[in-house]
Amino acid sequence: MFSAILWISITLSEEFYSTINLPLRVIDAPSGYTVSTDLPGNISVKIKGIGWRLAGISLGSESYFNVSAKNDSGVVLSNLYANTINNTWLSSDLSVIEISPDTVSFVIEKTIVKKLPVIPDLNIDFKTGFGLSAQLTVTPDSVNVSGPKSLINSLKGLKTQSVKLSQLDSQTRVKASFENSKLVTDVPFAEIFLDVQRIVDKTVDNIRVEVIDVPADRDVVLIPNSVSCLVKGGINILGRLTENDFKAYVHYRDVLLDSLGTVQPIIEFPENIEIVTQRPDRLRYIIKKFD
């Protein structure tokens, strides 16, 4: 055991070469400014030093190579060898042999804040017979976003990270963070609510049809004066649905302009349902004139 420790101690006292791959981090940007361009994914730093120092770096917490913007804005061209002084982990007892790439350029741009709607990025499917009974809701529906001026001004909304949900058959809530690393938001994520229900059909009868805008000296009799609708929607929504939730009407002017002897009623119905069929589709009418 002692001999092994002695051998390791002697070995680590010798000089070695090591290559470390690190992402770049820009420092010393002016207040109110930020980087607006993509930086290289990683740079490669080849260093020479005593074994125990290289081992300490390999096992340490250094995770960035700092590059100074020198409180400048616009396009900055930076030599990475000149930035070794901004990385205290590269102490005087280590020699930098090579940095690749040796030069980087980036853009420092003014930061602005803008309120943007949240755009959920969902990939979802449902169990057979199930579906969304209403539009999904997002909380919050908009966020304050800060970032480079050119990027912020190009955005119409802020997408969440992609969320995949499969075989849904019940109400579901999911949290989704935001996808752009150049932006800062006032909340870390949005909550998306999906009202998933079994999708069923229901026939709603006796929906009365009115004729509107009829002159005082006229009367219009519809034959028949009611319709039935086959509707589709979530089981919980259709369970509460009655004919009173519908409004059906015909404009008097459409009766006057008709040349077929029948008119098609306009039907207003609650959101989150779909009318599959309507019977009858068209109504006959009789116009009466008062003396």
Tokens standing for 182?
């150049």
In degrees rounded to 5, what are phi and psi of residue 90?
-90, 75
The whole-number pLDDT of residue 270 equals 94
The residue to which tokens 């949005």 are assigned: 190
pLDDT > 90? residue 127: yes
Contact call for residues 188 and 177 (beta carbons, < 8 A): yes
What is residue 188's predicted lDDT score, i.e. its pLDDT?
Answer: 93
Q: What is the pLDDT of residues 133-185, one digit of tens each?
A: 999 999 999 999 999 999 999 999 999 999 999 999 999 999 999 988 789 99
User: In this model, does residue 8 exceed pLDDT 70?
Assistant: no
pLDDT of 71: 93
Q: Which of 73, 40, 72, 178 is nearest to 119 (CA)?
A: 178
Q: Return the pLDDT at 72.
A: 93
Residue-range domain boundaries for the chain: 2-101, 112-194, 200-289
| Residue 286: predicted pLDDT | 94
196-201: average pLDDT: 96
pTM of this structure: 0.72
pLDDT of residue 179: 80
Average pLDDT, the chain: 89
Please tell me the predicted confidence (pLDDT) of residue 174.
Answer: 96
Asked if CATH classification 2.30.30.170 holds for the domain at 200-289, the reply, yes or no, is no
Q: The domain 112-194: what is its CATH number?
A: 2.170.120.40
pLDDT at 240 over 60: yes
First to last CA, the chain: 121
Beta bridge partners of 266: 249
pLDDT (0 to 100) of residue 28 = 94
How far apart, in Å, are the Cα atoms of 65 and each of 83, 97, 284?
Answer: 9, 15, 81
- Per-residue pLDDT, averaged over 248-261, amounts to 94
- The answer to whether 186 touches 224, Cβ cutoff 8 Å, is no
CA distance linking residue 13 with residue 49, whole number of Å: 9
- Whether 200-289 and 112-194 are alike in CATH topology: the answer is yes
CB 58 within 8 A of CB 20: yes
